[in-house]
Amino acid sequence: MNVSRYLKNIILAELFVPVLLLTIGIYHGLMQVIYRAGVIHQASVAKLDYYQGLTLHGVINAIVLTTFFAVAFGHATIAFFLKQEPGRKASLLSLLLMVIGTLMAAAAMLSGKASVLYTFYPPLKAHPAFYIGTAMLIVGSWVAYWDWAVIYVRWKRGHREENTPLAVIGTLVNFTIWFVCTLAVAYEVLVLLVPWSLGWTAGVNVMLARTLFWFFGHALVYFWLLPAYIMFYTMLPKLAGGKLYSGTAGRIAFFLFLLFSIPIGVHHQFGEPSIGRGVKLTQSLLTFAVAIPSFITAFTIAASLEHAAWLRGGRGLYSWIWKLPFFRKDVFLFGYLINGLILFIFGGLTGLVNASYSLNNTVHNTSFIPGHFHLTVAGPVFLAILGMSIFLVSQLTGKKIYLPAINTIIPYLWTVGVLIFSAGLMWGGLMGEPRRTNMGLTYLNPASEQYHPYWVISSMLGLAGGGIMFAAGFLYFIVFFGTFFRKRSAASMIDFPVSESLHEEKRIPLFDTFRPWLVVMGFIIFMAYLPAISDALNNTGKKAPPYLPTDPTPIVTKKP
Amino acid sequence: MIDKYERNVIIVALLLSALFIFSLFYAMGARKADVTECLPYDKSYETARVNQIDKSTYQIFYVARMWSFEPAITYIPVGSEVDLFLTSQDVVHGFDIYNKNVNLMGVPGGVAKTTVRFDQPGVYKVVCHEFCGTGHQNMQAEIIVNYPKK
Ligand SMILES: [Cu+2]
């Protein structure tokens, strides 16, 4: 399908800006494993402090890149599947808000005035530009969502008896989750944190702020993940040379995400005071419910891949696997997606460990957690983003991929790196290795009184894996920017590989409508979060004044 | 409406989840593995101290602040059961005891509580595992179980 020059430029900007910033994000990823492994015993290198780098790594990789990509990919899927381009004013406004917000937050982080990590952590205080900038980034993505919702409603009116394309269901489900969960963090930022960081209010209820943050914080993970799921369902079977085993399963999975992605955030707060055990247990159980759509996806995609391999002549219980197009340059997206799926098997299983009510005690806030979430976020999420960004840039600019052989290898190299890295972190975590800590200064510095020798080998594995990941990331930048700045050789277009369904599927109205699902979603969130928020309000004894990360005394605010 | 295999797979997924949930309740009941209790805040928790209730029962009230725990070193006899209380005077801190299933968050205005038994002698190191500022990596404490004899 042809795209207008206007939409093409919007999407390209939404890919170029975050990938450019990602160079900083990935550099700080490498620096962290070096600090943590005790190779350097310093607080900062090249004037960039460890914790500042950690903030840049988290915010750029996990919020800026993912949000920009989700909007860019959403524009592409809506335009491609509904044959209707997003509105010009809305998409420009959305892009501007996101870029300006990102620049504000980046300026605050790079000047060292916002080293509060990506979870905000009140009562540690950042510069107001950091909070306002991230809020603008989020609002920018809302604008795109509202525009698509209008396009969808209009399309639906003209196609009442037709099944909405699965990719469109996925995109709208994803942004609905995003919109609902970011309302909580918008409240936290705009009502609690910004007035407090400007000195207008004296204290902040830390438990309330944390609870609101995690209302958003776990659903966020699904916001990252669902674009990858959309690719798994609608593109991967086609790339493998087959068909999608069950489209209905995909619809069920997406709607289950709508129900269960949000009311489970308290499973990040098992170690925290002021929230009752009953709330913690309930949300732990709900977390198992959200594992079900992932199981459904794993089985459906595996069946689709097996079917594709059989069509290619594969046989046997397992040996069919080798018939899949792992290293074919023309379907390079397959390599990115299949590696993402492999990592996600481990990512999902370790996630169930974290979310398990009492098992969480062993791993909470240890390096097991980043070990786990790199298997998911640096796994299916990141690989889908890398692969799709190269795919879209090549198609939209009409330029051939630069170094296609390297491009095919990148996801495999990355996966090897992530597996080693995460194995090291998770092993260390089981031995109590803390996350978000400059261990090179103390625990892994033989000159320090706090030297803990237990974590030497595990953090060395982290360093080895992180080094391989950095190499793969570096190659990706070469391919991405190389393609971007090549000579144009074809017309610009979007042409996704589209998987057909294996069986003929009748339209089931329940799985093609949002309203009943939204009602149930609202009900479950209300039941799960009302007691959590009331606990946070009622059992917290005092509010906290702002602190700077560098100073153990609070910032005294003077009223002018 | 749904493919036969697809339906079976959904059933397997549900059964697997049920198994996980069963294990979770088993751990809570038989192994007494539980998460932080919810206690209403009271100013008295901000005084760091160790109380001995009887021969083998202790209470330790920890206060976390940038960047140390109080009491920094505690002596406890082997075989004691200890109620740990934790609060913070400034920002959010973490509290993880190496080799023990204790993992708490110190939040200003909140009181985290858990119970732990020390059956083996040794020096148990406590590290702060939640980012709490530039001195975060220096923040630690020790629980010395029967060693040296006090
Ligand atoms: Cu601390």
Residue type, A526: F
Residue A18: the pLDDT is: 94
Residue count of chain A, please give it.
560
Per-residue confidence at A296, pLDDT binned at 50, 70, 90?
confident
**Cα separation values, A6 from A12, A168, A458, A535, B109, Å:** 10, 21, 49, 49, 52
B122-127 and B140-145 strand pairing? antiparallel
Give the three-class secondary structure for A253: helix
Which of B39, B98, B111, B127 to mutate to test binding with chain A, by most A CBs within 10 Å of its CB? B127
Radius of gyration of chain A (CA): 23
Element (H, E) at A48: strand A48-49
Inform me whether the C-beta atom of residue A123 falls under 8 Å from chain B C-beta atoms.
Answer: yes
Per-residue confidence at A333, pLDDT binned at 50, 70, 90?
very high
Residue type, A238: K
Average pLDDT score over residue span A141-161: 93
Which A positions 194-223 lie with beta carbon below 8 A of chain B?
205-207, 210
d(CA A62, CA B131): 18
**Cα separation values, A140 from A18, A67, A93, A305, A385, Å:** 14, 10, 7, 37, 19
Give the three-class secondary structure for B84: strand
Nearest chain B Cα distance for residue A280, angstroms: 8
pLDDT digits over A334-388, tens only? 999 999 999 999 998 888 888 888 888 888 999 999 999 999 999 999 999 999 9
Query: What is the DSSP secondary-structure string of A432-444?
Result: TPBSS--TTTTTT
Say if CB B58 and CB B50 are below 8 A apart.
yes
Retrieve residue B104's tokens: 């708490």
> Which of the following is catalytic: A69, A80, A216, A222?
A222
pLDDT digits over A129-138, tens only? 999 999 999 9
Inform me whether the pLDDT recorded for A558 exceeds 60: no
Nearest chain B Cα distance for residue A360, angstroms: 8
Average pLDDT value for chain B: 86
Residue count of chain B, please give it.
150
This prediction's pTM: 0.92
Inform me whether the C-beta atom of residue B35 falls under 8 Å from chain A C-beta atoms.
Answer: yes
Average pLDDT score over residue span A509-528: 91
Residue A81: the pLDDT is: 93
Q: Do B110 and A539 touch (CB under 8 A)?
A: yes
Nearest CA among A381, A374, A469 for reference residue A417: A469
Work out how many CB contacts closer than 8 A connect A with B: 228
Residue B147: the pLDDT is: 61
Nearest CA among A131, A163, A333 for reference residue A254: A163
Nearest chain A Cα distance for residue B89, angstroms: 9
Query: What's phi and psi for B84, nearest 5 deg?
Result: -105, 130
Chain B residues lying within 8 Å of A206, measured CB to CB: 92, 107-110
Helices (H) and strands (E) in chain A, counts: 19, 2
DSSP E strand stretches across chain B? 37-39, 49-54, 57-65, 68-70, 73-76, 80-88, 93-97, 103-106, 111-118, 122-127, 140-145
Q: What is the ipTM of this complex?
A: 0.87
Inform me whether the C-beta atom of residue B28 falls under 8 Å from chain A C-beta atoms.
Answer: yes
Q: Cα A292 vs. chain centroid, distance in angstroms? A: 19
Element (H, E) at A393: helix A382-397
> Which of the following is catalytic: A57, A210, A218, A267?
A218
Query: What is the DSSP secondary-structure string of B36-74?
Result: -EEE---GGGGS-EEEEEETTEEEEEEEEETTEEESSEE
Interacting residues of A513 by C-beta distance below 8 A, sequence separation 6+: none
d(CA A109, CA A101): 12
Nearest CA among B133, B131, B112 for reference residue B63: B112
Per-residue confidence at B142, pLDDT binned at 50, 70, 90?
very high
Half-sphere exposure of A557 (CA within 13 A, CB side): 16
DSSP E strand stretches across A346-473? none
Which residue among B6, B33, B137 sits closest to A249, beta carbon to beta carbon?
B6
Buried b (16+ CB within 10 A) or exposed e, A154-180: ebbeeeeeebbbbbbbbbbbbbbbbbb
Inform me whether the C-beta atom of residue A181 falls under 8 Å from chain B C-beta atoms.
Answer: no
The rounded Å distance from CA B69 to ligand 1 centre is: 8
pLDDT digits over A384-442, tens only? 999 999 999 999 999 999 999 999 999 999 999 999 999 999 999 998 889 988 888 88
Per-residue confidence at A560, pLDDT binned at 50, 70, 90?
very low
pLDDT digits over A239-251, tens only? 998 899 888 888 9
Retrieve residue A335's tokens: 């390599």
Inform me whether the C-beta atom of residue A447 falls under 8 Å from chain B C-beta atoms.
Answer: no
Q: Do A552 and B36 touch (CB under 8 A)?
A: no
Average pLDDT score over residue span A306-317: 87
Inform me whether the pLDDT recorded for A85 exceeds 70: yes
Residue A181: the pLDDT is: 92
Inform me whether the C-beta atom of residue B44 falls under 8 Å from chain A C-beta atoms.
Answer: no
Chain B residues lying within 8 Å of A503, measured CB to CB: 3
In this predicted model, which residue has the larger pLDDT, A414 or A555? A414
Say if CB A512 and CB B25 are below 8 A apart.
no
Give the three-class secondary structure for A422: helix
Burial class (CB in 10 A: 0-12, 13-18, 19+), A93: middle
d(CA B45, CA B110): 9
Say if CB B120 and CB B78 are below 8 A apart.
yes
Burial class (CB in 10 A: 0-12, 13-18, 19+), A367: buried
Buried b (16+ CB within 10 A) or exposed e, A439-450: bbbbbbbeebeb
Whether A373 is catalytic: yes
Give the three-class secondary structure for B86: strand
Nearest chain A Cα distance for residue B45, angstroms: 11
Q: Do B38 and A539 touch (CB under 8 A)?
A: yes
Nearest CA among B107, B37, B108, B50 for reference residue B76: B50
Per-residue confidence at A139, pLDDT binned at 50, 70, 90?
very high
pLDDT digits over B107-134, tens only? 999 999 999 999 889 889 999 999 998 8
B93-97 and B103-106 strand pairing? antiparallel
Inform me whether the C-beta atom of residue B116 falls under 8 Å from chain A C-beta atoms.
Answer: no
Retrieve residue A27's tokens: 């550099």
Say if CB A517 and CB A192 are below 8 A apart.
no
Nearest CA among A441, A444, A436 for reference residue A460: A444
B111-118 and B80-88 strand pairing? antiparallel
Average pLDDT value for chain A: 90
Residue type, A24: I
Q: List the single range of A75-79, A304-308, A505-509, B96-100 with lowest mean pLDDT.
A: A505-509
Average pLDDT score over residue span B20-37: 78
Retrieve residue A280's tokens: 């913690």
Which A positions 324-353 lie with beta carbon below 8 A of chain B?
352
DSSP B108: B
Nearest chain A Cα distance for residue B55, angstroms: 28
d(CA A303, CA A335): 18
Burial class (CB in 10 A: 0-12, 13-18, 19+), A100: middle
Inform me whether the pLDDT recorded for B149 exceeds 70: no
d(CA B65, CA B138): 12
Q: Cα A550 vs. chain centroid, distance in angstroms? A: 29
